[in-house]
């Protein structure tokens, strides 16, 4: 049996606030196998983003262990986390997070700059991925020239540029209308069919239905973990 892509044990995260320590995550256990398609749900403030940021190596836990593709990364220093992040996973945010003064092509290619890939290869890869998400003709445009749905496609292309085996998405359709949301979810469905593991946060049941497993958070804990049908 290969190691799960994600395995967390007793994962906790507390924030320092003026009122003292606030435990946003309280001992979470979860295992996600390669090829899974998982939706994380739960009310606002239940710890979903805190959890995703830990999974995405954007932050470090206060307690517990995180095995990413078998390696315990919970206690790695920030620069090691950044390297790991740029090699193994793609992250998609609710607000797209594109750099406004950079062309779409350069936005998509940016993770390859950090990975030390040469310019010609970066250009070719970024163009190929923009074409893949249906934006091949917009490579030289700036982000403010395209719609929100198109910006999210660019963000997905950027998340794919390092050929990750895991995509994490925190409310990727939270800023999009329902039609555009379905288009974006179609793209995630396709990536999952190609074997990429997907973990996404949503509070919309229609969006969560695309996944085959739904995990629900409440007050920093997992309160349910169910296999669901998913879309054919």
- Which residues are near ligand ADP by CB under 6 A? 15, 17, 22, 24, 42, 44-50
Question: Is residue 94 near Mg ion by the rule CB under 5 A?
Answer: no
Task: Pick the closer one to Mg ion by CB: 106 or 170.
Answer: 170
Assess 181 for contact with Mg ion (CB under 5 A): no
Q: Where are the alpha helices (DSSP H) in the chain?
A: 48-55, 78-88, 104-114, 119-132, 148-160, 178-193, 205-208
**The CA-based dihedral angle spanning residues 207, 213, 216, 222, taken in that order and rounded to the nearest 10 degrees:** -160
DSSP three-state, residue 170: strand
Q: How far is CA 174 from CA 61, 71, 90, 96, in A?
A: 26, 32, 18, 10
Cα–Cα distance, 232 to 229 (Å, whole number) = 8
Q: Spell out the residues 6+ positions from residue 115 whose beta carbon is closer than 8 angstroms to its own.
A: 86, 87, 162
Binding positions for Mg ion, 3-62, rule CB under 5 A: 48-49
Q: Report in angstroms how near the CB of residue 207 gets to ligand ADP at its nearest.
A: 15
Instruction: Closer to Mg ion by CB, 95 or 186: give it.
Output: 95
Nearer to Mg ion, 8 or 24 (CB): 24
Smallest gap from Cβ 47 to ligand ADP, in A, equals 5
CB of 232 to ligand ADP, least distance (A): 30
Shortest Cβ 11–ligand ADP spacing (Å): 12
Residue 17 touches which member of ligand ADP, Mg ion, none, C-beta under 5-8 Å by kind: ligand ADP
Name the β-bridge partners of 226: 214
Which residues make up the interface to Mg ion (CB under 5 A)? 48-49
């Amino acid at each position: 049996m290969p190691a799960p892509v994600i395995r967390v044990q007793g994962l906790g995260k507390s924030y320092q606030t003026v009122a003292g320590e606030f435990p946003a995550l309280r001992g979470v256990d979860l295992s996600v196998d390669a090829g899974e398609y998982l939706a994380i749900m739960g009310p606002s403030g239940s710890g979903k983003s805190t959890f995703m940021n830990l999974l995405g190596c954007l932050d470090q836990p206060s307690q517990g262990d995180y095995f990413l593709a078998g390696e315990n990364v919970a206690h790695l220093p920030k620069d090691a986390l950044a390297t790991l992040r740029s090699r193994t996973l793609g992250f998609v945010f609710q607000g797209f997070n594109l750099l406004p003064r950079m062309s779409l092509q350069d936005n998509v290619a940016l993770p390859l700059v950090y990975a030390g890939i040469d310019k010609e290869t970066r250009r070719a890869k970024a163009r190929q991925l923009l074409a893949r998400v249906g934006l091949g003709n917009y490579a030289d445009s700036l982000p403010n020239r395209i719609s929100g749905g198109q910006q999210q496609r660019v963000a997905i292309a950027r998340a794919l540029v390092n050929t990750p085996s895991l995509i994490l998405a925190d409310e990727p359709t939270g800023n999009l209308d329902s039609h555009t949301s379905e288009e974006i979810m179609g793209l995630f469905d396709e990536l999952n069919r190609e074997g990429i593991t997907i973990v996404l946060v949503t509070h919309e049941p229609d969006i969560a239905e695309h996944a085959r497993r739904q995990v629900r958070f409440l007050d920093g804990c997992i309160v349910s973990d169910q296999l669901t049908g998913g879309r054919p």
